[in-house]
Each structure stands twice: as structure tokens, then as C-alpha cells.
Amino acid sequence: MLFSISWRNVWRNKLRSAVIIIAIALGICAGVFSSAFYKGMADQRIDKAIKTEISHIQVHRPKFRQANDISQFIPEADELAARIGEIPEVSGVSSRIIIFSMASSAETASGVKISGVMPGEESKVTNLHTKLIEGNYFEEERRNPIIVGWKLAEKLNVKMGSKIVLTLQDIDNNIVAGAFRIIGIFNTANGIYDESNVFVKHEDLRRLMELPDHSAHELAILVEDNELIRETQEKIQTLTGNLEVLSWTELSPEMNYLNEAMDLFMYIFIIIILFALLFGIINTMLMVVLERIKEIGMLMAIGMNRLRVFMMIVLESIFLSLTGGVIGVLMGGGISIYFETNRIDLSMWGEVYQDLGYDPYVYTSLEFSLLVNVTILVIITGIIASLYPAYKALKNDPADALRIE
């Protein structure tokens, strides 16, 4: 009956309860939606980094990544790639030649990362071929084709069909240069990436750098499912012996931190909202207790012990908070689910987002655990908010309370 009394007490002053319930609902709704929004943004950033840039797992010679030393190549990379490709969890393997160099047009020059890729294999690992805004993905049988980002093209003042010269170091430390013709321009919606990456054919770059046949600096691997990355990494390590096999969290720890930081940020944000709401709930519960001093005195007089009086106030506060919390979670959850499949258009500020590597079209990402945790936090807030009012109620002397007219 204690539950029943507390629940019905919530609705004794409908207007007052409604005001605080709406405040809680709106606060929680905003918290849940914001969390889903930022989580979606972070997930998209990570997903894009994996699918466009990093892939799930990469294999290198141990010293290659320290200084991008081009002499640290994997000699029989093609054969190794074929063996890795036989692992059931692997959905694609691409062998890449990597070098940081200079790309020059007739007007200017810019530092770039050149990736020599096998187009057929690369398209199984990254989605660059879907990001072309002009031209094609190495479909033309031309000598020295190159694909560049739109931002680099803008910087070098080049367009489709223009020639650019890549100046680089070969395996014997000689400076060599090659003229490449632009056959495609991509836009990954990551400004920094689009300004600093170019793609050429594996054999063109290998020939220019005079690397041995079948060699590569990097094997990029895509796995069927995120959950299988650790297991697949171990299998690849067994195959590759002394080579360095790293997952995306190790290759790009900042992405992993982004993921963790976003989770933490979401909860801090929600706790700040709940902290602000806490005072509203305390205020309401104090009014409730002060209004019912006589009634609480009567209950204690007829034999309701202090624990039950305490529980009655706590339950009322929990019901009040939880009603608002559940409405807020449902509203926030509903809005977030809608925007999981309907993008939020931030293209008005697109350049700013792209420069930071974020997509200007955001899809929210809602985790069920967030809803559960928010509901638990709301209950905790309700309990905390009830403590002082409940203490005031317990300080009540039944005889004094019953004298109140």
C-alpha cells in the first residue's frame, strides 16, 4: 500500500507534479538525443576512418611505421596477402606501397601521402571508389593514372585530365619524379584527408621507386565483423611471424579515445542535466512534505514507523522523477531512432565539420544501454532529491503536527 499511497500522492497536486515531470522529461530527452547525436557523429568518424583510411587491421615490417622508412617493405607481400585472404573472417586484403612525398602542379606544390594500390583489392577494403565526385576508379588503361582529393585539386589548381608531378625517393635514396594524369577526384567529407592523400596504381609506384616485384609496405585487411577483429588479428599474427600486426585501435589510438571520450562526455552531460533537475525535485518534495506535516504527524501517531515514512517520501520522489525520466527516455529514444535513418543536415557548417574530419550529415547512434543507464541515474537522482525532504518529515513531532490547524 506504501507504493500505492506514494504513487497517488504524486498526483495530488497535478499542476505542480506536471511542471516538474515536464522539466525532467525535456531535460532527459535533450540528454538522450544529444548523446545519440554525438555518439552518431563519433561512430561515423570512426567508421569513415576505418572504411576510407585505416581498415580494421594492418600488417607492416616492425620499423616501417616509426619513420615511414621505405626500405622496410614486406618482400613477398602478394603471397602473404593471398594467405591472409584465406582466413574465413577476412573479407578483403589490399597490399599498398606507401610513401610521403611532394605533388606539384604547374602553379604550386603540396606534401602528400602516396598510396600505391591494386584497385580491385583496394575496393574490397576501403570505399574510396564510392567517394569519387569526378572521373573513375582506375578503369582507364592509361599510363600513370592518379586519383586526388578535391581539396588537393583545389590547392594545386588542377582538374580532371591535368598532370601533376610526384617527386619522391626511390629505394636507393635517389630523387625520382613521375608525371601522373588525374583520372578521378574524390571527396570523403574529411577535408584534411582530401588535401593530403593521392592514390596511384601499385605497379606504377613500385616501378618508380624500384621496389622488388610482389613487395609492399602495408597490408590493409577488412574483417567481416567488428567483433572478430581481435580473433582475426591473432590468426594473422600467427601467419606473419615477426611482422607487426595492428588493429585500428592501435593504429589510430585517437579514434579509440574519441570513442571512449564520447561515452564519458555523454554521461557527464546527462549528469549535469540531472544535477540541475535535482534542485527542482528537492524543491517540489520539500513543498510536498511541508504541506503534509499534519498528515505525516497523523501517520506517525497511528503507528507508521520512521522507516515507512521515509520510504513513502523516497518512493514519491522516485515516482515523480521516474515518470519524467521514462517520458524523457521514450521521447529522446524515439527522436534518436528516427534520426538513425533520417540524416541531420549540418551542411550549413559543412566545411568546419569536414576540416575536423566529421561528416556534415549526421545519423544518430542510440545504444540501449544508454537508456537503461539514464533510467538508473534518474532513480538515483530521485532518491538523492528525497533525502532532505524525508529528513524534514522525520523530524516531525506527531503531537506538534496534529496541533496544526
Partner 1 sequence: MSVIEIKNLYKIYDGSEVEVRAVNGINLNIEEGEFTAIVGPSGSGKTTFLNLVGGLDKPTDGKVFVDGIDVWSLKSRKLIDFRLHNIGFVFQSYNLIPVLTAKENVEFIMQLQGWSRKDRIKRTGDLLKAVGLADRMDSRPAKLSGGQQQRVAVARALASKPKFVLADEPTANLDSKSTENLLDIMEKLNQEEKITFIFSTHDARVIKKARRVITIEDGRILKDETK
* Contacts with partner 1, residue ranges (CB under 8 A): 1, 4-5, 8-9, 12, 294-295, 298-306, 308, 398-399, 402-403
Query: Cα(147)–Cα(52) distance, rounded to whole angstroms?
Result: 14
Q: Which is nearer to partner 1, 42 or 289 (CB)?
A: 289
Least separation in angstroms between residue 396's CB and partner 1 is 12
Q: Which is nearer to partner 1, 117 or 288 (CB)?
A: 288
Least separation in angstroms between residue 224's CB and partner 1 is 57
Query: Cα(203)–Cα(214) distance, rounded to whole angstroms?
Result: 9
Q: Which is nearer to partner 1, 183 or 312 (CB)?
A: 312
Least separation in angstroms between residue 301's CB and partner 1 is 6
Q: Which is nearer to partner 1, 17 or 55 (CB)?
A: 17
Least separation in angstroms between residue 392's CB and partner 1 is 17
Grid cell digits, residue 123: 575496393
Q: Which is nearer to partner 1, 300 or 322 (CB)?
A: 300
Query: Cα(208)–Cα(82) distance, rounded to whole angstroms?
Result: 24
Query: Cα(89)–Cα(8) distance, rounded to whole angstroms?
Result: 57
Q: Which is nearer to partner 1, 74 or 309 (CB)?
A: 309
Nearest partner of 31 among 275, 352, 259, judged by Cα: 275
Least separation in angstroms between residue 397's CB and partner 1 is 8
Q: Which is nearer to partner 1, 207 or 294 (CB)?
A: 294
Residue 111 CA: distances (Å) to CA of 144, 168, 215: 19, 11, 24
Alpha helices in 220-252 (DSSP H): 229-240, 248-251
Q: Which is nearer to partner 1, 4 or 173 (CB)?
A: 4
Q: Which residue shows C-alpha cell 561515452?
A: 263
Least separation in angstroms between residue 11's CB and partner 1 is 8
**Contact of 247 with 35, CB cutoff 8 Å:** no
Q: Which residue shows C-alpha cell 606473419?
A: 240
Query: Cα(234)–Cα(232) distance, rounded to whole angstroms?
Result: 5
SS3 of residue 108 by DSSP: coil
Query: Cα(358)–Cα(42) distance, rounded to whole angstroms?
Result: 8
Query: Cα(38)–Cα(46) distance, rounded to whole angstroms?
Result: 12
Least separation in angstroms between residue 326's CB and partner 1 is 21
Query: Cα(309)–Cα(395) distance, rounded to whole angstroms?
Result: 11
Residue 75 CA: distances (Å) to CA of 98, 215, 216, 264: 14, 5, 7, 44
Q: Which residue shows C-alpha cell 543536415?
A: 345
Least separation in angstroms between residue 309's CB and partner 1 is 10
Least separation in angstroms between residue 364's CB and partner 1 is 41
Q: Which is nearer to partner 1, 376 or 399 (CB)?
A: 399
